[in-house]
Protein backbone atom coordinates (compact mmCIF):
# COMPACT_ATOMS: atom_id res chain seq x y z
CA UNK A 1 0.00 0.00 0.00
CA UNK A 2 1.56 3.30 -1.05
CA UNK A 3 0.47 6.73 0.09
CA UNK A 4 -0.66 7.73 -3.37
CA UNK A 5 -3.44 5.16 -3.11
CA UNK A 6 -4.95 6.83 -0.07
CA UNK A 7 -7.56 9.57 0.01
CA UNK A 8 -7.06 12.85 1.78
CA UNK A 9 -3.27 13.05 1.33
CA UNK A 10 -1.06 16.09 1.86
CA UNK A 11 -0.50 18.60 -0.91
CA UNK A 12 2.38 17.78 -3.23
CA UNK A 13 5.73 19.34 -2.44
CA UNK A 14 5.39 19.59 1.31
CA UNK A 15 8.59 18.69 3.10
CA UNK A 16 8.91 19.29 6.83
CA UNK A 17 12.29 19.42 8.49
CA UNK A 18 10.69 18.08 11.65
CA UNK A 19 7.37 16.33 12.33
CA UNK A 20 5.80 16.01 15.76
CA UNK A 21 2.90 13.59 16.03
CA UNK A 22 0.94 13.57 19.27
CA UNK A 23 -1.73 11.00 20.12
CA UNK A 24 -4.38 11.77 22.74
CA UNK A 25 -5.86 8.40 23.64
CA UNK A 26 -9.66 8.08 23.47
CA UNK A 27 -10.37 11.61 22.23
CA UNK A 28 -13.06 10.65 19.73
CA UNK A 29 -13.58 12.72 16.61
CA UNK A 30 -17.05 13.86 17.61
CA UNK A 31 -15.77 14.89 21.05
CA UNK A 32 -12.89 16.89 19.57
CA UNK A 33 -15.14 18.77 17.14
CA UNK A 34 -17.65 19.42 19.93
CA UNK A 35 -14.87 20.97 22.04
CA UNK A 36 -14.04 23.27 19.13
CA UNK A 37 -17.67 24.24 18.51
CA UNK A 38 -18.72 24.85 22.12
CA UNK A 39 -15.61 26.82 23.09
CA UNK A 40 -14.12 24.21 25.42
CA UNK A 41 -11.07 24.36 23.15
CA UNK A 42 -10.51 28.09 22.78
CA UNK A 43 -6.77 28.60 22.30
CA UNK A 44 -5.81 29.98 18.87
CA UNK A 45 -2.75 27.72 19.06
CA UNK A 46 -4.74 24.65 20.09
CA UNK A 47 -7.59 22.78 18.44
CA UNK A 48 -9.07 25.93 16.96
CA UNK A 49 -5.77 26.85 15.29
CA UNK A 50 -5.50 23.37 13.82
CA UNK A 51 -9.04 23.45 12.44
CA UNK A 52 -8.83 27.01 11.07
CA UNK A 53 -5.31 26.90 9.63
CA UNK A 54 -4.49 23.30 8.80
CA UNK A 55 -5.57 19.91 7.59
CA UNK A 56 -8.43 18.21 9.41
CA UNK A 57 -10.63 15.17 8.98
CA UNK A 58 -14.24 14.81 10.01
CA UNK A 59 -13.39 11.40 11.40
CA UNK A 60 -10.40 9.07 11.48
CA UNK A 61 -11.92 5.62 11.05
CA UNK A 62 -9.84 3.10 13.06
CA UNK A 63 -8.94 -0.42 12.07
CA UNK A 64 -10.42 -3.36 13.96
CA UNK A 65 -10.30 -3.95 16.83
CA UNK A 66 -10.49 -0.43 18.28
CA UNK A 67 -7.85 -1.03 20.93
CA UNK A 68 -4.90 1.13 21.94
CA UNK A 69 -2.03 -1.18 20.95
CA UNK A 70 -3.65 -2.10 17.63
CA UNK A 71 -4.38 1.50 16.62
CA UNK A 72 -1.02 2.94 17.59
CA UNK A 73 0.82 0.35 15.53
CA UNK A 74 -1.53 1.06 12.63
CA UNK A 75 -0.88 4.79 12.98
CA UNK A 76 2.88 4.24 12.47
CA UNK A 77 2.78 1.40 9.92
CA UNK A 78 -0.21 2.20 7.71
CA UNK A 79 -1.43 -1.36 8.07
CA UNK A 80 -4.41 -3.06 9.66
CA UNK A 81 -4.01 -5.82 12.23
CA UNK A 82 -3.67 -8.57 9.63
CA UNK A 83 -0.55 -6.81 8.37
CA UNK A 84 1.07 -6.06 11.72
CA UNK A 85 0.22 -9.17 13.75
CA UNK A 86 -0.79 -6.93 16.67
CA UNK A 87 -4.38 -8.14 16.85
CA UNK A 88 -5.32 -6.95 20.34
CA UNK A 89 -3.91 -5.42 23.51
CA UNK A 90 -3.31 -9.06 24.57
CA UNK A 91 -3.22 -12.11 22.33
CA UNK A 92 -1.71 -15.55 21.83
CA UNK A 93 0.90 -16.51 19.27
CA UNK A 94 1.03 -19.89 17.52
CA UNK A 95 3.04 -22.84 18.84
CA UNK A 96 3.05 -21.61 22.42
CA UNK A 97 1.34 -23.20 25.45
CA UNK A 98 -2.35 -22.39 25.78
CA UNK A 99 -1.66 -20.77 29.15
CA UNK A 100 0.64 -18.10 27.66
CA UNK A 101 -0.08 -14.90 25.75
CA UNK A 102 1.68 -11.65 24.95
CA UNK A 103 1.04 -7.93 25.30
CA UNK A 104 0.33 -5.95 22.17
CA UNK A 105 2.29 -3.09 23.73
CA UNK A 106 5.52 -5.11 23.72
CA UNK A 107 5.07 -7.09 20.50
CA UNK A 108 7.08 -6.42 17.36
CA UNK A 109 5.06 -5.44 14.32
CA UNK A 110 5.44 -7.48 11.15
CA UNK A 111 5.10 -4.22 9.23
CA UNK A 112 7.86 -1.64 9.52
CA UNK A 113 6.95 1.23 11.88
CA UNK A 114 7.82 4.84 11.15
CA UNK A 115 10.60 4.92 13.72
CA UNK A 116 12.40 2.15 11.84
CA UNK A 117 11.67 3.49 8.34
CA UNK A 118 12.72 7.03 9.26
CA UNK A 119 16.01 5.87 10.74
CA UNK A 120 16.70 3.84 7.58
CA UNK A 121 16.39 7.14 5.69
CA UNK A 122 18.95 8.82 7.92
CA UNK A 123 16.46 10.62 10.17
CA UNK A 124 16.59 10.78 13.94
CA UNK A 125 13.54 9.65 15.92
CA UNK A 126 12.33 10.21 19.49
CA UNK A 127 9.52 8.04 20.87
CA UNK A 128 7.95 9.51 23.99
CA UNK A 129 5.60 6.96 25.63
CA UNK A 130 4.30 5.82 22.22
CA UNK A 131 2.53 2.44 22.56
CA UNK A 132 4.56 -0.27 20.85
CA UNK A 133 7.88 1.55 21.27
CA UNK A 134 8.90 -0.03 24.56
CA UNK A 135 12.65 0.18 23.92
CA UNK A 136 13.15 -3.55 24.43
CA UNK A 137 14.04 -4.53 20.85
CA UNK A 138 15.71 -2.72 17.93
CA UNK A 139 12.42 -2.61 16.01
CA UNK A 140 10.59 -1.18 19.04
CA UNK A 141 12.71 1.91 19.65
CA UNK A 142 13.85 5.14 18.10
CA UNK A 143 17.23 6.80 18.59
CA UNK A 144 16.09 7.76 22.07
CA UNK A 145 12.85 7.88 23.98
CA UNK A 146 10.80 7.53 27.13
CA UNK A 147 8.87 4.34 27.80
CA UNK A 148 5.74 3.62 29.77
CA UNK A 149 6.80 2.89 33.36
CA UNK A 150 5.77 -0.28 35.13
CA UNK A 151 3.57 -0.32 38.22
CA UNK A 152 4.39 1.99 41.11
CA UNK A 153 6.94 0.57 43.56
CA UNK A 154 4.46 1.57 46.23
CA UNK A 155 0.75 1.89 45.34
CA UNK A 156 -1.30 4.86 46.50
CA UNK A 157 -2.88 5.02 49.94
CA UNK A 158 -5.39 7.19 51.77
CA UNK A 159 -4.71 7.92 55.44
CA UNK A 160 -7.12 9.15 58.08
CA UNK A 161 -4.94 10.66 60.80
CA UNK A 162 -6.41 11.27 64.25
CA UNK A 163 -5.07 13.67 66.90
CA UNK A 164 -5.23 10.79 69.39
CA UNK A 165 -2.38 9.03 67.55
CA UNK A 166 -0.30 12.15 66.87
CA UNK A 167 3.08 13.15 68.21
CA UNK A 168 4.21 16.76 68.19
CA UNK A 169 7.22 18.60 66.80
CA UNK A 170 9.01 21.84 67.44
CA UNK A 171 10.34 22.07 63.90
CA UNK A 172 7.21 23.53 62.35
CA UNK A 173 5.73 26.67 63.89
CA UNK A 174 2.04 26.72 64.77
CA UNK A 175 0.09 29.79 65.79
CA UNK A 176 -2.74 30.84 68.08
CA UNK A 177 -1.85 28.37 70.82
CA UNK A 178 -2.35 25.22 68.75
CA UNK A 179 0.44 22.68 69.19
CA UNK A 180 1.60 20.98 65.98
CA UNK A 181 0.30 17.47 65.42
CA UNK A 182 2.67 15.03 63.72
CA UNK A 183 2.34 11.50 62.36
CA UNK A 184 4.90 9.10 60.90
CA UNK A 185 3.94 7.69 57.52
CA UNK A 186 5.88 4.68 56.22
CA UNK A 187 6.04 4.15 52.47
CA UNK A 188 6.53 0.44 51.88
CA UNK A 189 8.76 -0.09 48.84
CA UNK A 190 8.58 -3.89 48.82
CA UNK A 191 11.72 -5.45 47.36
CA UNK A 192 13.33 -2.09 46.59
CA UNK A 193 16.37 -0.76 48.36
CA UNK A 194 15.65 0.77 50.79
CA UNK A 195 12.62 -1.36 51.61
CA UNK A 196 10.77 1.59 53.10
CA UNK A 197 10.88 5.36 53.43
CA UNK A 198 9.59 7.22 56.48
CA UNK A 199 7.76 10.49 55.98
CA UNK A 200 6.73 12.98 58.65
CA UNK A 201 3.32 14.62 58.28
CA UNK A 202 2.56 17.61 60.49
CA UNK A 203 -0.62 19.67 60.90
CA UNK A 204 -0.38 23.27 62.10
CA UNK A 205 -2.13 26.61 62.31
CA UNK A 206 -0.14 28.71 59.84
CA UNK A 207 -2.34 31.80 60.05
CA UNK A 208 -1.62 34.03 63.09
CA UNK A 209 -5.03 35.71 63.12
CA UNK A 210 -5.97 35.10 66.72
CA UNK A 211 -8.34 32.23 65.87
CA UNK A 212 -6.93 28.77 66.62
CA UNK A 213 -7.63 26.65 63.55
CA UNK A 214 -5.59 23.93 61.90
CA UNK A 215 -5.15 24.86 58.23
CA UNK A 216 -1.80 23.68 56.83
CA UNK A 217 0.04 20.38 56.39
CA UNK A 218 3.83 20.16 56.38
CA UNK A 219 5.65 17.10 55.03
CA UNK A 220 9.26 15.95 54.87
CA UNK A 221 11.23 12.73 54.72
CA UNK A 222 12.49 11.76 58.17
CA UNK A 223 16.11 12.08 57.02
CA UNK A 224 15.56 15.42 55.24
CA UNK A 225 15.71 18.95 56.57
CA UNK A 226 13.25 21.01 54.55
CA UNK A 227 9.46 20.79 54.88
CA UNK A 228 6.95 21.17 52.07
CA UNK A 229 3.62 22.86 52.81
CA UNK A 230 0.06 22.48 51.46
CA UNK A 231 -3.37 23.65 52.51
CA UNK A 232 -6.62 21.74 52.21
CA UNK A 233 -7.18 20.39 48.65
CA UNK A 234 -3.61 21.33 47.68
CA UNK A 235 -0.82 19.12 46.38
CA UNK A 236 2.81 18.50 47.28
CA UNK A 237 5.42 15.98 46.14
CA UNK A 238 7.48 13.52 48.16
CA UNK A 239 10.65 12.50 46.31
CA UNK A 240 13.43 10.11 47.25
CA UNK A 241 16.14 7.90 45.76
CA UNK A 242 15.62 4.14 45.63
CA UNK A 243 16.68 1.14 43.59
CA UNK A 244 13.44 -0.47 42.55
CA UNK A 245 12.88 -3.93 41.08
CA UNK A 246 14.70 -4.06 37.75
CA UNK A 247 16.70 -0.88 38.42
CA UNK A 248 20.42 -1.27 37.82
CA UNK A 249 21.17 1.66 40.13
CA UNK A 250 19.30 4.06 42.40
CA UNK A 251 16.80 6.29 40.62
CA UNK A 252 14.70 9.28 41.63
CA UNK A 253 11.14 8.35 42.63
CA UNK A 254 8.27 10.69 43.36
CA UNK A 255 4.83 10.45 44.97
CA UNK A 256 2.30 13.26 44.62
CA UNK A 257 0.20 13.82 47.74
CA UNK A 258 -2.93 15.82 48.42
CA UNK A 259 -4.52 17.14 51.58
CA UNK A 260 -8.08 15.89 51.14
CA UNK A 261 -9.61 17.19 54.36
CA UNK A 262 -8.67 19.07 57.53
CA UNK A 263 -10.98 19.29 60.51
CA UNK A 264 -9.82 22.71 61.58
CA UNK A 265 -11.22 22.34 65.07
CA UNK A 266 -10.20 18.81 66.06
CA UNK A 267 -7.10 18.25 63.93
CA UNK A 268 -8.39 15.19 62.09
CA UNK A 269 -6.66 14.89 58.75
CA UNK A 270 -7.39 12.94 55.55
CA UNK A 271 -4.25 12.61 53.42
CA UNK A 272 -3.80 11.02 50.00
CA UNK A 273 -0.39 9.64 49.13
CA UNK A 274 -0.06 8.85 45.44
CA UNK A 275 1.87 5.94 44.00
CA UNK A 276 5.67 6.13 43.98
CA UNK A 277 6.97 6.18 40.40
CA UNK A 278 10.04 6.96 38.36
CA UNK A 279 10.74 7.95 34.77
CA UNK A 280 11.99 5.22 32.42
CA UNK A 281 13.79 6.13 29.21
CA UNK A 282 16.53 4.99 26.85
CA UNK A 283 19.46 5.20 26.51
CA UNK A 284 20.54 5.68 30.12
CA UNK A 285 22.31 8.97 29.38
CA UNK A 286 19.10 10.39 27.91
CA UNK A 287 17.09 9.17 30.91
CA UNK A 288 19.46 10.94 33.28
CA UNK A 289 19.23 14.24 31.40
CA UNK A 290 15.46 14.03 31.04
CA UNK A 291 14.83 13.08 34.68
CA UNK A 292 17.03 15.94 35.83
CA UNK A 293 15.04 18.35 33.66
CA UNK A 294 11.44 17.26 34.36
CA UNK A 295 11.53 15.11 37.50
CA UNK A 296 9.94 11.78 38.36
CA UNK A 297 7.02 10.26 36.48
CA UNK A 298 3.84 11.49 38.24
CA UNK A 299 1.72 8.47 37.34
CA UNK A 300 -1.70 8.30 35.71
CA UNK A 301 -4.89 9.38 37.43
CA UNK A 302 -5.66 6.99 40.27
CA UNK A 303 -8.65 4.78 39.63
CA UNK A 304 -9.56 4.96 43.32
CA UNK A 305 -12.11 7.42 41.95
CA UNK A 306 -14.19 4.34 41.17
CA UNK A 307 -14.78 3.89 44.90
CA UNK A 308 -15.86 7.52 45.21
CA UNK A 309 -18.66 7.09 42.67
CA UNK A 310 -20.32 4.69 45.11
CA UNK A 311 -19.30 6.10 48.49
CA UNK A 312 -18.12 9.65 49.08
CA UNK A 313 -16.21 8.44 52.13
CA UNK A 314 -14.05 6.14 50.00
CA UNK A 315 -11.50 6.73 47.27
CA UNK A 316 -10.66 10.13 45.79
CA UNK A 317 -13.08 12.71 44.46
CA UNK A 318 -13.52 13.55 40.80
CA UNK A 319 -11.67 16.87 41.09
CA UNK A 320 -8.60 15.06 42.39
CA UNK A 321 -8.87 12.56 39.55
CA UNK A 322 -9.05 15.32 36.93
CA UNK A 323 -6.15 17.19 38.54
CA UNK A 324 -4.01 14.08 38.26
CA UNK A 325 -4.84 13.79 34.57
CA UNK A 326 -3.96 17.43 33.99
CA UNK A 327 -0.68 16.98 35.90
CA UNK A 328 0.28 14.10 33.62
CA UNK A 329 -0.55 16.18 30.54
CA UNK A 330 1.70 19.00 31.76
CA UNK A 331 4.49 16.54 32.55
CA UNK A 332 4.33 15.04 29.06
CA UNK A 333 4.24 18.54 27.57
CA UNK A 334 7.42 19.43 29.45
CA UNK A 335 8.99 16.21 28.22
CA UNK A 336 8.14 16.88 24.59
CA UNK A 337 9.10 20.56 24.59
CA UNK A 338 12.37 19.79 26.39
CA UNK A 339 13.20 17.27 23.66
CA UNK A 340 12.31 19.83 20.99
CA UNK A 341 14.67 22.42 22.49
CA UNK A 342 17.50 20.25 23.84
CA UNK A 343 17.73 17.25 21.51
CA UNK A 344 18.04 16.72 17.76
CA UNK A 345 15.12 14.79 16.30
CA UNK A 346 13.42 14.81 12.90
CA UNK A 347 10.40 12.78 14.04
CA UNK A 348 8.96 13.02 17.55
CA UNK A 349 6.11 10.70 18.58
CA UNK A 350 4.26 11.58 21.79
CA UNK A 351 1.45 9.80 23.62
CA UNK A 352 -1.04 11.12 26.22
CA UNK A 353 -3.38 8.83 28.17
CA UNK A 354 -5.31 11.18 30.49
CA UNK A 355 -8.62 11.22 28.59
CA UNK A 356 -8.57 7.44 28.15
CA UNK A 357 -8.13 6.83 31.87
CA UNK A 358 -10.82 9.37 32.66
CA UNK A 359 -13.44 7.92 30.32
CA UNK A 360 -12.91 4.39 31.56
CA UNK A 361 -13.77 5.63 35.03
CA UNK A 362 -16.20 8.47 34.45
CA UNK A 363 -18.24 7.93 31.25
CA UNK A 364 -21.43 7.79 33.29
CA UNK A 365 -24.25 8.48 30.82
CA UNK A 366 -26.51 5.41 30.78
CA UNK A 367 -29.25 4.72 33.32
CA UNK A 368 -28.27 1.03 33.27
CA UNK A 369 -24.83 1.85 34.68
CA UNK A 370 -24.32 0.97 38.32
CA UNK A 371 -23.06 4.42 39.30
CA UNK A 372 -25.55 6.39 37.20
CA UNK A 373 -27.42 9.35 38.57
CA UNK A 374 -28.25 12.63 36.83
CA UNK A 375 -25.81 14.44 39.10
CA UNK A 376 -22.98 12.02 38.39
CA UNK A 377 -23.65 12.26 34.67
CA UNK A 378 -23.30 16.06 34.86
CA UNK A 379 -20.13 15.76 36.94
CA UNK A 380 -18.68 13.32 34.43
CA UNK A 381 -19.39 15.63 31.49
CA UNK A 382 -17.87 18.62 33.25
CA UNK A 383 -14.77 16.66 34.18
CA UNK A 384 -14.32 15.66 30.54
CA UNK A 385 -14.54 19.31 29.49
CA UNK A 386 -11.78 20.16 31.95
CA UNK A 387 -9.59 17.51 30.36
CA UNK A 388 -10.60 18.86 26.95
CA UNK A 389 -9.14 22.21 27.99
CA UNK A 390 -6.03 20.36 29.18
CA UNK A 391 -5.62 18.70 25.77
CA UNK A 392 -6.13 22.08 24.09
CA UNK A 393 -3.45 23.56 26.34
CA UNK A 394 -1.14 20.68 25.45
CA UNK A 395 -1.54 21.23 21.71
CA UNK A 396 -0.97 24.96 22.13
CA UNK A 397 2.18 24.43 24.19
CA UNK A 398 3.59 22.13 21.51
CA UNK A 399 2.78 24.55 18.70
CA UNK A 400 4.58 27.41 20.42
CA UNK A 401 7.83 25.45 20.31
CA UNK A 402 7.57 24.77 16.58
CA UNK A 403 8.48 26.85 13.53
CA UNK A 404 5.48 26.88 11.16
CA UNK A 405 7.80 27.38 8.19
CA UNK A 406 9.76 24.18 8.76
CA UNK A 407 7.90 22.02 11.29
CA UNK A 408 4.66 20.04 11.08
CA UNK A 409 2.40 19.17 14.03
CA UNK A 410 0.11 16.17 13.61
CA UNK A 411 -2.58 15.54 16.24
CA UNK A 412 -4.32 12.16 16.25
CA UNK A 413 -6.17 9.76 18.50
CA UNK A 414 -6.66 6.03 18.38
CA UNK A 415 -10.39 5.72 19.07
CA UNK A 416 -13.26 7.03 21.17
CA UNK A 417 -15.17 5.28 23.94
CA UNK A 418 -18.73 4.12 24.57
CA UNK A 419 -20.52 3.72 27.91
CA UNK A 420 -20.80 0.20 29.34
CA UNK A 421 -23.02 -1.28 32.02
CA UNK A 422 -22.26 -5.03 31.95
CA UNK A 423 -19.14 -7.19 31.91
CA UNK A 424 -18.93 -10.53 30.11
CA UNK A 425 -16.52 -12.83 31.91
CA UNK A 426 -15.61 -14.70 28.76
CA UNK A 427 -13.75 -17.60 30.37
CA UNK A 428 -16.71 -18.21 32.67
CA UNK A 429 -18.92 -18.42 29.58
CA UNK A 430 -16.56 -21.06 28.18
CA UNK A 431 -16.56 -22.90 31.49
CA UNK A 432 -20.36 -22.95 31.53
CA UNK A 433 -20.30 -24.56 28.10
CA UNK A 434 -17.80 -27.19 29.22
CA UNK A 435 -15.03 -25.66 27.11
CA UNK A 436 -12.62 -24.43 29.77
CA UNK A 437 -10.74 -26.21 32.55
CA UNK A 438 -9.10 -24.60 35.58
CA UNK A 439 -7.07 -25.74 38.57
CA UNK A 440 -7.19 -24.04 41.94
CA UNK A 441 -4.31 -25.57 43.89
CA UNK A 442 -5.81 -24.18 47.07
CA UNK A 443 -5.73 -20.60 45.77
CA UNK A 444 -7.31 -18.55 42.98
CA UNK A 445 -8.38 -20.50 39.92
CA UNK A 446 -5.69 -20.97 37.27
CA UNK A 447 -6.00 -22.01 33.67
CA UNK A 448 -5.30 -25.74 33.22
CA UNK A 449 -2.76 -26.73 30.59
CA UNK A 450 -5.27 -29.22 29.13
CA UNK A 451 -8.14 -26.75 28.79
CA UNK A 452 -9.89 -27.17 25.44
CA UNK A 453 -10.20 -23.41 24.89
CA UNK A 454 -9.28 -20.06 26.42
CA UNK A 455 -10.57 -16.51 25.99
CA UNK A 456 -8.07 -13.64 25.77
CA UNK A 457 -9.91 -10.35 26.18
CA UNK A 458 -9.25 -6.65 25.66
CA UNK A 459 -11.99 -4.03 25.89
CA UNK A 460 -15.01 -5.28 23.97
CA UNK A 461 -12.95 -7.75 21.90
CA UNK A 462 -12.60 -11.45 22.67
CA UNK A 463 -10.19 -13.84 20.96
CA UNK A 464 -11.13 -17.49 21.57
CA UNK A 465 -8.28 -19.93 21.03
CA UNK A 466 -8.51 -23.70 20.70
CA UNK A 467 -5.89 -25.87 22.42
CA UNK A 468 -5.41 -27.74 19.16
CA UNK A 469 -3.55 -31.00 18.75
CA UNK A 470 -0.44 -30.49 16.62
CA UNK A 471 -0.54 -26.70 16.94
CA UNK A 472 -0.34 -25.91 20.65
CA UNK A 473 2.20 -27.84 22.73
CA UNK A 474 0.14 -30.41 24.61
CA UNK A 475 -2.95 -29.56 22.53
CA UNK A 476 -6.04 -31.61 23.38
CA UNK A 477 -8.66 -30.74 20.73
CA UNK A 478 -8.60 -33.19 17.80
CA UNK A 479 -8.57 -31.54 14.40
CA UNK A 480 -11.68 -33.40 13.33
CA UNK A 481 -13.62 -31.81 16.22
CA UNK A 482 -12.66 -28.19 15.55
CA UNK A 483 -15.97 -27.24 13.95
CA UNK A 484 -17.96 -28.77 16.81
CA UNK A 485 -15.95 -26.90 19.46
CA UNK A 486 -16.25 -23.58 17.66
CA UNK A 487 -19.98 -24.02 17.19
CA UNK A 488 -20.44 -24.77 20.89
CA UNK A 489 -18.47 -21.67 21.83
CA UNK A 490 -20.34 -19.48 19.35
CA UNK A 491 -23.71 -20.66 20.68
CA UNK A 492 -22.67 -19.99 24.29
CA UNK A 493 -21.78 -16.36 23.49
CA UNK A 494 -24.63 -15.73 21.07
CA UNK A 495 -27.15 -16.54 23.81
CA UNK A 496 -25.81 -13.93 26.26
CA UNK A 497 -27.98 -10.95 27.14
CA UNK A 498 -28.54 -8.47 29.95
CA UNK A 499 -31.42 -6.05 30.53
CA UNK A 500 -33.00 -7.44 27.37
CA UNK A 501 -30.01 -6.47 25.24
CA UNK A 502 -27.86 -9.04 23.38
CA UNK A 503 -24.24 -8.98 24.55
CA UNK A 504 -22.65 -9.96 21.25
CA UNK A 505 -22.65 -7.92 18.05
CA UNK A 506 -20.56 -10.13 15.77
CA UNK A 507 -18.76 -13.50 15.80
CA UNK A 508 -16.13 -14.33 13.17
CA UNK A 509 -14.04 -17.37 12.47
CA UNK A 510 -10.43 -16.44 11.84
CA UNK A 511 -10.99 -16.77 8.10
CA UNK A 512 -14.19 -14.70 8.22
CA UNK A 513 -12.32 -12.03 10.19
CA UNK A 514 -10.68 -11.00 6.92
CA UNK A 515 -13.75 -8.79 6.54
CA UNK A 516 -12.43 -6.63 9.39
CA UNK A 517 -8.70 -7.06 8.75
CA UNK A 518 -8.13 -9.70 11.43
CA UNK A 519 -7.32 -12.82 9.42
CA UNK A 520 -3.93 -13.31 11.05
CA UNK A 521 -2.50 -16.38 12.73
CA UNK A 522 -2.34 -14.44 16.01
CA UNK A 523 -6.11 -13.94 15.96
CA UNK A 524 -8.39 -16.30 17.81
CA UNK A 525 -10.02 -19.27 16.16
CA UNK A 526 -13.13 -17.24 16.91
CA UNK A 527 -13.12 -13.45 17.21
CA UNK A 528 -16.04 -11.92 19.08
CA UNK A 529 -17.04 -8.27 19.20
CA UNK A 530 -19.40 -7.36 22.01
CA UNK A 531 -22.28 -4.97 21.50
CA UNK A 532 -22.15 -1.41 22.88
CA UNK A 533 -22.94 -1.47 26.59
CA UNK A 534 -20.84 -4.57 27.22
CA UNK A 535 -17.16 -5.12 27.96
CA UNK A 536 -15.13 -8.31 28.27
CA UNK A 537 -13.06 -9.73 31.09
CA UNK A 538 -10.82 -12.76 31.14
CA UNK A 539 -11.56 -13.55 34.80
CA UNK A 540 -11.56 -17.22 35.73
CA UNK A 541 -13.87 -16.70 38.71
CA UNK A 542 -17.31 -15.16 39.11
CA UNK A 543 -20.50 -15.25 37.06
CA UNK A 544 -20.67 -15.17 33.28
CA UNK A 545 -22.29 -11.70 33.40
CA UNK A 546 -22.09 -9.02 36.07
CA UNK A 547 -22.63 -5.26 36.38
CA UNK A 548 -19.58 -3.24 35.40
CA UNK A 549 -17.75 -1.29 38.11
CA UNK A 550 -16.19 0.95 35.48
CA UNK A 551 -18.05 2.89 32.84
CA UNK A 552 -16.31 3.51 29.51
CA UNK A 553 -14.71 1.14 27.01
CA UNK A 554 -13.49 0.68 23.45
CA UNK A 555 -12.67 -2.40 21.37
CA UNK A 556 -16.08 -2.31 19.67
CA UNK A 557 -16.35 -2.68 15.91
CA UNK A 558 -14.81 0.26 14.07
CA UNK A 559 -18.08 0.69 12.17
CA UNK A 560 -19.45 2.59 15.17
CA UNK A 561 -18.86 6.31 14.61
CA UNK A 562 -18.21 6.77 18.35
CA UNK A 563 -15.05 4.67 17.88
CA UNK A 564 -13.56 7.11 15.37
CA UNK A 565 -10.44 9.06 16.28
CA UNK A 566 -9.35 12.52 15.23
CA UNK A 567 -6.82 13.82 12.71
CA UNK A 568 -5.45 17.36 12.46
CA UNK A 569 -2.20 18.74 11.03
CA UNK A 570 -0.65 22.17 10.74
CA UNK A 571 2.59 23.80 9.64
CA UNK A 572 5.32 23.32 7.00
CA UNK A 573 3.25 24.51 4.05
CA UNK A 574 0.13 22.56 5.04
CA UNK A 575 -2.87 24.41 3.64
CA UNK A 576 -6.26 24.60 5.28
CA UNK A 577 -8.31 21.63 4.13
CA UNK A 578 -11.33 19.98 5.77
CA UNK A 579 -11.59 16.39 4.64
CA UNK A 580 -14.39 13.94 5.25
CA UNK A 581 -13.72 10.57 6.76
CA UNK A 582 -10.29 8.98 6.30
CA UNK A 583 -8.85 5.66 7.46
CA UNK A 584 -6.21 5.28 10.16
CA UNK A 585 -3.73 3.61 7.73
CA UNK A 586 -3.53 6.97 5.89
CA UNK A 587 -1.52 8.54 8.69
CA UNK A 588 1.84 6.75 8.45
CA UNK A 589 2.33 7.33 4.70
CA UNK A 590 1.29 10.96 5.16
CA UNK A 591 3.88 11.54 7.89
CA UNK A 592 6.53 9.70 5.88
CA UNK A 593 5.91 11.90 2.83
CA UNK A 594 6.14 15.04 4.94
CA UNK A 595 9.53 13.77 6.11
CA UNK A 596 10.63 13.21 2.53
CA UNK A 597 10.30 9.47 2.00
CA UNK A 598 7.67 6.98 0.87
CA UNK A 599 6.36 3.90 2.62
CA UNK A 600 4.97 1.05 0.56
CA UNK A 601 4.24 -2.60 1.13
For the domain that residue 455 is a member of, what is the CATH number?
A: 3.30.1360.180
Q: What is the span of the domain harbouring residue 358?
A: 1-89+114-149+317-417+554-601
Same domain, 540 and 599: no
DSSP letters, 494-524, are HT-EETTEESEEEEEETTGGGGGT--STTS-
For the domain that residue 371 is a member of, what is the CATH number?
A: 3.40.720.10
Calculate mean pLDDT across residues 518-527: 98
Distance CA 76, CA 414 (A): 11
Q: Which of 5-9, 219-223, 525-529 has the lowest mean pLDDT?
A: 5-9
Same domain, 329 and 468: no
Same domain, 510 and 565: no
Calculate mean pLDDT across residues 196-219: 97
Residue 7 has pLDDT above 50, yes or no: no
Dihedral angle sign, alpha carbons of residues 444, 446, 452, 455:
positive
In a domain, 79, yes or no: yes
In a domain, 225, yes or no: yes
Same domain, 488 and 523: yes
Same domain, 163 and 254: yes
Residue 8 has pLDDT above 50, yes or no: no
Same domain, 140 and 184: no
In a domain, 298, yes or no: no
State pTM to two decimals.
0.96
In a domain, 100, yes or no: no
Same domain, 564 and 545: no
Q: What pLDDT score was predicted for residue 61?
A: 98
Q: Which of these three, 512, 537, 552, is where a domain ends?
A: 552
Same domain, 156 and 267: yes
pLDDT in tens, 336-374: 999 999 999 999 999 999 999 999 999 999 999 998 999
DSSP letters, 78-92, are S--HHHHS--SSEE-
The model's confidence at residue 160, banded by pLDDT at 50, 70 and 90, is: very high
Same domain, 174 and 126: no
Calculate mean pLDDT across residues 276-294: 98
Residue 225 has pLDDT above 70, yes or no: yes
Same domain, 408 and 431: no
Same domain, 163 and 253: yes
Distance CA 472, CA 475 (A): 5
User: Percent of the chain, pLDDT > 70?
Assistant: 97
In a domain, 228, yes or no: yes
Domain count of the fold of the chain: 3
Q: What pLDDT score was predicted for residue 1?
A: 35
Q: What pLDDT score was predicted for residue 131?
A: 98
In a domain, 232, yes or no: yes
Q: In sequence order, which ranges of 343-455 are alpha helices (DSSP H)? A: 354-362, 374-399, 426-432
Mean pLDDT, rounded, of the chain: 95
CA atoms within 13 A on the CB side of 375: 3
In a domain, 310, yes or no: no
In a domain, 304, yes or no: no
Q: Which of these three, 532, 552, 572, is where a domain ends?
A: 552
Same domain, 126 and 169: no
Calculate mean pLDDT across residues 419-448: 94
DSSP letters, 250-302, are -EEEEEEEEEEEE-TTT--EEEEEPPBB--EEESHHHHHHHHHHH-S---PPP
Amino acid sequence: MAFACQSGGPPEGIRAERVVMVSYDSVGADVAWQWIEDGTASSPDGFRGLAENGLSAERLRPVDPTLTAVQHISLVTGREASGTGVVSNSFRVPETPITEWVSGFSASSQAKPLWVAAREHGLKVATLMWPGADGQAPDRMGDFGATWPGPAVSPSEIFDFSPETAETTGEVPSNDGLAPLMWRLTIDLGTSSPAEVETLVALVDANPNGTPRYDTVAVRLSDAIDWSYAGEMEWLEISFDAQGPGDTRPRRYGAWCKVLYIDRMTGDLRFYRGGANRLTAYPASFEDRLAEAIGAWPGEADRKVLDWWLDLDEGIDLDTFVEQGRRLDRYLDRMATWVLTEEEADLVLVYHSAVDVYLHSALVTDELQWAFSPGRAIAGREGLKRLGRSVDESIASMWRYLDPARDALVVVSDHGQLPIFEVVNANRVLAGAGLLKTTDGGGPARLASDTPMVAVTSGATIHLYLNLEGREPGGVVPKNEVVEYLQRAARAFADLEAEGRPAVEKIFTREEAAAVGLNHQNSGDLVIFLAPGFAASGALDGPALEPSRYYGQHGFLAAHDEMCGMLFARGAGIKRKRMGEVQTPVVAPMVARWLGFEVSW
